[in-house]
A and B are shown apart, each in its own frame.
Chain A
Amino acid sequence: MKEKLKTIIRKLTWTYNPATEREASDSTARNFLLHWFPAKVTKKSMSFSYSMLLGTIILTLFLILTMTGLILMFLYVPSVGKAYWSIKDLQFVVPYGWFIRDLHRVAAQLMVAVVFIHLVRVFLTGAYKHSEKIVGSYRPLNWWIGLALLLVTMLLSYTGYLLPWDQLALWAITIGDHIALSAPVVGSAISRVLIGGTIIDQNTLIRWYVAHVFFLPVIISLLILWHMWRIRKDGGLAVVEALGIERIKEDKVVAKAKTYSLMGIVTGITPTITQYRVRGEAVSSSPNLTRRVLVVMVLVTAVSMGLAFFYKAPLEQPASLMWTPNPAKAPWYFLWLQELVADTTIRLGGLTISGGFVGGIVIPTVLLLFAAAWPLIDRSPEEAIGVWFHKSRNLQNAAFILVCTVIVALIYVGAVMRGPYWHLYMPWQHWIKMPTRF
């Protein structure tokens, strides 16, 4: 009996704990959950010092968000009259409702932060660059998918932020809507679609809700899958190119084999088999990579849960257009944009261009276009791919770090140094707390 039980457990778990090299390479083909891992992976690809495992961290956060989000959907009512009170209930009445909400918010904010760090990591290691070494590899594509993922992550955060229908939510939509309105020609049409009318009301809430719980999650899921699939198509993380790749090309007559799979080999053709061998120590994905992924997932979940106890989601007064909180601040990841829209109104003689358009639309679009075009502009050598701070990339790395520092500095100014009426205060100065009730 005990032996039988052991056999059953062994049959269920051998792919995660292979006894031989043969079983290890078999496991990625046999186990559905493991099929997106390669059979072998270099130690460098798995190392924290290269990738910092940011992708796995983001995926874990996304899974936490999906699960807590699904539970929240049972408890939240997307109606102007009820939304705020359903969040109040969640906070004070629903058993553990506060925990689910806080965990959702913590994971969301972590996700925005880690996605940004991931982008920084990919830039500084030159991992977005194209090289001719691996057939079928085109890393710039994954960079563009990554930029799309960054945008969708920001949109998910923004739309989620609006749902509690408190003052924070209302004034975030108001500002977003007016940024859209400040665009020439198409501004009012975009605003119409975004808020579903001319004032922010039920139409707006239901639009943002459907975007938040359906459209954006579906889009981001598809993009995530594509992003991961591209890593495999590109031959793994960019670090393998830095390790060096031997290309062994040989013409081989493949013996006719009986096969019923799609991978069956057509007879009468002599396929050229090109082998790539990465220099550097390779080990089996199972259990080396799977174990790391598991540890990261457990740690990220633990950290998010822990933070959820200390980092409380705020709920301000119910939404009211009659008065604006003073100061009215966007969530931290949008504060750099808020700082920009407040500072970039241009006055040239009689002509005035609103900062809403310059800082809210032009600057972010230019930054995004630059980021998208960068893999095509970057002329650094192939040796720079997959290496942190390669010396041939010093100039562009410095420029990139400068842009990132400016963004972080603007966030800091917006968060710490802006008081009532958006006046500038030094970090050690205190400002008068303005009343939060009209």
Chain B
Amino acid sequence: MPDNDREGNNTETRISRRRFLTYLSGFLIVGGFLMQGVAALRSLFPRVLYEPPTKFKVGLPSDLPEGVKFIPEHRLFVIRNGDRFHSISAICTHLGCTVNLAKYSPPKEYKARSGQEISETYEFHCPCHGSKYREDGDVYAGPAPKPLPWFKMYLAPDGQIVVDTDVTVGHEFRLQV
């Protein structure tokens, strides 16, 4: 026998007022907390970052010295070899310390994996956990998992060299000026 209310409407498919209000208030309470939670969490991920740009000028090619130059404010090494330039990150790939430049004179000799004898005049050493990188950024000692990345470089219209730290390039990359 169907349940009818006073007006004779079928109440079987309808929910009672009490149940409706219970669901409604439950929904509002849970929804309210969820909204607050989402708002609180989302607010911790900034939409705008007021951070220095990842593309920057490092000076005119003629101002850069032959060999390797550390640019502290960008944590970067710019290397000049005659009219050819490339840049290597100074941020250790292990845990982000700034690596130091270790210069060798007379040059340090070592045997590459290919068996080739190579002499280098500088290396990069990390002060935090002792990672050591060759002059091309390859790790040969310590805990660093990856080589130091090389960054893309190009000339700005005013003739200055621009480094783009968002774009990494291979070891064959050179900016010819």
Residues of A bordering B, CB below 8 Å: 171, 174-175, 177-179, 181-182, 192-193, 196-199, 201, 203, 207, 321-328, 338, 341-345, 352-356, 360, 420-423, 434, 438
Q: Shortest Cβ distance from A419 into chain B, in angstroms? A: 10
Contact B127 A175 (CB under 8 A): no
Could you tell me the distance between the alpha carbons of A198 and B145 in the complex, rounded to whole angstroms?
20
Contact A341 B129 (CB under 8 A): yes
Contact A423 B130 (CB under 8 A): yes
Q: Shortest Cβ distance from A197 into chain B, in angstroms? A: 5
Given contacts A197-B51, A353-B145, contact A420 B96 (CB under 8 A): no
Q: Shortest Cβ distance from A328 into chain B, in angstroms? A: 5
> What are 29 A-B residue pairs whose CB atoms fall within 8 Å in the complex?
A171-B128, A174-B96, A175-B95, A175-B97, A178-B94, A193-B45, A197-B49, A197-B51, A199-B51, A203-B46, A321-B75, A322-B73, A322-B98, A323-B98, A324-B126, A324-B127, A324-B128, A328-B127, A341-B94, A341-B129, A342-B129, A342-B143, A345-B94, A345-B145, A355-B94, A356-B94, A422-B126, A422-B127, A423-B130
Q: CB-defined interface of B133-158 with A at 8 Å, one 1/0 digit per residue? A: 00000000011111000000000000
Count how many chain B residues have C-beta atoms less than 8 Å from C-beta atoms of the other chain.
27
Contact A171 B97 (CB under 8 A): yes
Contact A197 B97 (CB under 8 A): no
**Interface SS majority for chain B:** loop
Contact A344 B143 (CB under 8 A): yes
Residues of B close to A341: CB separation below 8 A = 94-95, 129, 143
In the assembled complex, B44 has its CB within 8 A of some CB on chain A = yes
Given contacts A178-B95, A324-B97, contact A421 B125 (CB under 8 A): yes
Nearest residue, chain B, Cβ from A175 = B95
Q: Shortest Cβ distance from A81 into chain B, in angstroms? A: 14
Given contacts A342-B129, A352-B146, contact A198 B51 (CB under 8 A): yes
- Most chain B beta-carbon contacts within 10 A, residue among A322, A325, A353, A434: A322
Contact of A354 among B75, B126, B145 (CB under 8 A): B145
In the assembled complex, B72 has its CB within 8 A of some CB on chain A = yes
Contact of B98 among A201, A203, A324, A343 (CB under 8 A): A324
In the assembled complex, B160 has its CB within 8 A of some CB on chain A = no
Contact of A178 among B96, B98, B100 (CB under 8 A): B96
Residues of B close to A323: CB separation below 8 A = 72, 98, 100
